[in-house]
């Protein structure tokens, strides 16, 4: 129980920095203008799955993701390429290991902010607006260790 509580604490700490202002230039688009939203994508997260399995979008489309967490664990939904998600998972794992050793990590969630996304604590709903730009190998995913591997991911396909 104690382990579980500290684990969740680390996850909350990882989420403390907004994933929009820093980090490498995101792929797949950019934070969108709420006034230009043409579609709302509602997603329910459980432990460990998304209700959304795949997403079709148009180049230039601005959507609002609304993510509700019906699980017991925190989840995230981020947009990025397959390679970016792999990098994100690696950093997240490293940071959690550092925290477990009691060290203070030299970098923050901002360093992982490769793309748009949102963190959702259990029982909460969170949203973000994203303007898509045609990009190969784009997907949505939760990169909390083990979750992506459980299937918390899906392809984002660009239709004409």
Which residues is 158 bridged to in the sheet?
57
Kindly state the DSSP code that residue 36 receives in the 8-state scheme.
G
Which of 75, 89, 114, 153 lies at the binding interface for Cu ion (CB under 5 A)?
75
Would you say 32 or 120 has its CB closer to Cu ion?
Answer: 120
Q: What is the spatial distance between Cα 55 and Cα 66, in angstroms, rounded to a whole number?
A: 14
Phi, psi dihedral angles at 45 (to 5 degrees) = -105, 135
Would you say 12 or 134 has its CB closer to Cu ion?
Answer: 12
Of the candidate spans 7-15, 20-28, 56-64, 152-160, the one that interacts with Cu ion by CB under 5 A turns out to be 152-160
DSSP 61-105: -EEEEEEEE-SSS-EEEEEEEHHHHHHHHHHHHHHHHHHHTTPPP
Q: For the CB of residue 42, give the shortest distance to Cu ion in the complex, in Å.
A: 17
Q: What is the spatial distance between Cα 7 and Cα 106, in angstroms, rounded to a whole number?
A: 19
Of the candidate spans 29-37, 51-59, 128-136, 139-147, the one that interacts with Cu ion by CB under 5 A turns out to be 139-147
Those residues whose C-beta lies under 8 Å from the C-beta of residue 107, and which sit 6 or more positions away, are 95
Would you say 75 or 114 has its CB closer to Cu ion?
Answer: 75
Which of 68, 142, 153, 156 lies at the binding interface for Cu ion (CB under 5 A)?
142
Would you say 81 or 143 has its CB closer to Cu ion?
Answer: 143
Q: For the CB of residue 75, give the shortest distance to Cu ion in the complex, in Å.
A: 3
| Residues touching Cu ion, count (CB under 5 A) | 5
Would you say 62 or 92 has its CB closer to Cu ion?
Answer: 92
Cβ-based neighbour number of residue 24 at 10 Å: 12
Residues that bind Cu ion (CB under 5 A): 75, 142, 144, 147, 152
């Amino acid at each position: 129980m104690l382990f579980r509580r500290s684990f969740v604490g680390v996850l909350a700490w990882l989420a403390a920095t907004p994933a929009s202002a820093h980090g490498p230039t995101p792929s797949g688009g950019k934070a969108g203008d709420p006034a230009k939203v043409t579609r709302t994508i509602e997603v329910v997260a459980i432990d460990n799955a998304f209700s959304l399995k795949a997403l079709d979008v148009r180049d230039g489309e601005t959507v609002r993701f609304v993510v509700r967490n019906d699980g017991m664990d925190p989840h995230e939904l981020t947009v990025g390429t397959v390679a970016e998600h792999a990098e994100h998972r690696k950093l997240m794992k490293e940071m959690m290991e550092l925290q477990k050793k009691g060290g203070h990590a030299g970098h923050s969630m901002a360093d992982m902010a490769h793309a748009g996304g949102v963190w959702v604590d259990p029982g909460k709903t969170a949203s973000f607006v994203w303007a898509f730009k045609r990009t190969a190998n784009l997907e949505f995913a939760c990169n909390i260790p083990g979750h992506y591997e459980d299937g918390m991911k899906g392809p984002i396909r660009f239709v004409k």
